Structure 1
Amino acid sequence: MKSKPDFSRIALWLIFLVASSSAHAGWYEVVNYVGTIGSQPIHLSLQTFGYIDRNEPGQWRVDGSYYYDAHRIPIPLQGKRRPNGTMQLCEATEPASFADSPKVPPPSATRPVPCPIELKISGTQASGEWRDGKNNLPITLHQVGRLDDTGEQSPRIVGIVAIPMWHHTKDHLLLGVYESSGSCSLSMARLRLVNIKSGRIDREMKFPCGTGVVATPIYANVYRASNPRYVTIISQGGDHGMGDDQDVEVEP
């Protein structure tokens, strides 16, 4: 059994679930897009926090994950929204553990612009620019999936919500497929193992209700295990209701 992360650090990542409440209330506001940066097709997922951090500085925070279809390596994103509907997104490094956050590296000779993405959201469309100090590439995106389980209504899912987790293995991009039903308000029902080289789905693993809805950033519900052939998946329950983690083998 792995030791749990330090409570003072994990408090930054978790919001407690009140299982006995008859009213549904969550914190995930996630929109998935497909489109292009320049001529390169991409998949992009963004999570905002306007509901749980309303009237606080955190309401403007953005977490995200995106990957180029040609490479299939997820790039963590962190950024901020502005009241006018624009947002700036920074490319970050994968968290070292569940208790950590992605880190945005400082400017360097090889990466002079740590925050290269500028987006304007307009309904189900988004557009903007990707800039690295040398190149300015147009970004064009359209919405393909949406998840919103905030408030007291049942979770609203539009399209297929396949979340590119921040962690990936040597051979696979990990896509968590989130679903809602009458018997389960919201859960990561399946985890797709997408072959990084070929793009094919090598395997699709099924999980019970309550999986993948513990970490506040949705992209952190599947994270790095101590054994590189495994990933750690968190679900509701565990000691003190802080979540239960399970190491699952994903590589041969």
Structure 2
Amino acid sequence: MKRKLNFSWSCLILLAAASSAHAGWYEIENYAGTIGSLPVHLSLQTYDEVDRNEPGQWHVDGSYYYDAHRIPIPLQGKRQPDGTMQLCEAIEPASFSDSPKVPAPSATHPVPCPIALKVSGTEASGEWRDGKNVLPIALHQVGSLNDTDPQHLRVTGVVEIPMWHHTKTHLLLGVYESSKDCPLSMVRLRLVNIKSGRIDREMTFPCGAGIVATPIYANVYRAKNPRYVTVISQGGYHDMGDEKDVAVEP
């Protein structure tokens, strides 16, 4: 099912489709490594070019998951000029019109912002704290993309984006690539079985998919039907974005 994009989340959406030659707003770094002894994958989005010399420049969005559990955890945080970040674990938005919410401290979740991270080149290190335990973080970069300069668009490595939304049985990994005919797009959506880690299915999309929502992690989100997800693409009425519900569960 196709429909025009609802722009009630206007503060987090940029009009996407004036031209694929125009500068974008994605500055993404993907990492793999460990928190303590536990393997993790982590993706971070910063806003140096979009919000240059503005307070929003230091905002960080992100998503990470433990390899053994494969449930994405939204991240919201702040970055200092020296590359130090404080990252909070947030709750997946209930709908596209919402943004992730960081829960207040509670007895079961006493430290909402457990990740302190310092990025240096292609490495990142820091600590994860929950009020009782302190675990070291060691990460190395496995992929990156930056489309803020249309003359030097850069996609390095395999850029798999763990979307904030996941289904009951699948982690959703958007695979982003660049080619001569399509500067940047989510070319595939991998459905990773949460229990087994197996890729159950890989869905393909035409150029322009997954590059509309300002946080890249929101380009695939919860549909009304739990068997479906909604994928955002360029196009639609006056090039203001288009939504398409696609079936991901039997």
TM superposition score normalised by structure 1: 0.96
Q: 1:3 to 1:97 in 2, by over 3 A?
A: farther
What is the count of residue pairs matched by the alignment?
Answer: 249
> 1:41: Cα distance to partner?
0.2
Please give the root-mean-square deviation of Cα atoms over the aligned residues, in Å: 1.3
Q: Aligned equivalents of 1:39 and 1:213: distance in 2?
A: 34
One-letter code of the match for 1:16? L
- Give the corresponding residue for 1:19: 18
Relative contact order higher in (CA < 8 Å, ≥ 6 apart)? 2
CA distance in 2, matches of 1:222, 1:67: 17
Instruction: Give the SS at the match of 2:57.
Output: helix
Could you tell me which of 195, 206, 209 is aligned with 2:207?
209
CA deviations 1:101-142 (Å, max 9, x no partner) are 000000001011000000000000000000000000000000
Q: Distance in 1 between matches of 2:115 and 2:215?
A: 20
- Quote the offset at 1:2 in angstroms: 5.5
202, 217, 227: which one pairs with 1:219? 217
The reply on whether 1:194 has 2:192 as its aligned counterpart is yes
The one of 131, 134, 139 equivalent to 2:132 is 134
Instruction: State how far apart, in whole Å, the 2-side matches of 1:20 and 1:157 are.
Output: 19
Which residue matches 1:41? 39
Q: State the distance in 2 between where 1:140 and 1:191 align.
A: 27
Q: Distance in 2 between matches of 1:2 and 1:187?
A: 20
Large movers: runs of 4+ above 6 Å = none
8 Å CA contact 1:154, 1:185 repeated in 2: no
Unaligned runs of 5+ in 1: none
Alignment partner of 2:64 out of 63, 66, 73: 66
Q: Which amino acid aligns with 2:56?
A: G
| Residue 167 in structure 1 maps to residue 168 in structure 2 | no
Instruction: Please tell me the residue identity of whatever aligns with 1:36.
Output: T
Q: Distance in 2 between matches of 1:103 and 1:223?
A: 15
C-alpha contact 1:24 1:153 (8 A) present in aligned 2? no
Amino acid of the residue matched to residue 182 of structure 2? C
Identity of aligned residues (%): 76
Q: Is the 8 A contact 2:124 2:140 kept in 1?
A: yes
Distance 1:79 1:87 in 2: 7
* Partner SS state of residue 153, structure 1: helix
For the 8 Å contact 2:3–2:242, the answer to whether it is kept is: no
Q: Which runs of 5+ in 2 are unaligned?
A: none
1:97 paired to 2:79: no
Please give the secondary structure, in 2, of the residue aligned with 1:175: strand
Q: In the alignment, which residue of structure 1 is the partner of 2:78?
A: 80
**Equivalents in 2 of 1:18, 1:163: separation in Å?**
21
The 2-side partners of 1:151 and 1:3 are apart by 28
The alpha-carbon distance between structure 1 residues 183 and 3, as it changes in their structure 2 partners (threshold 3 A), is: closer
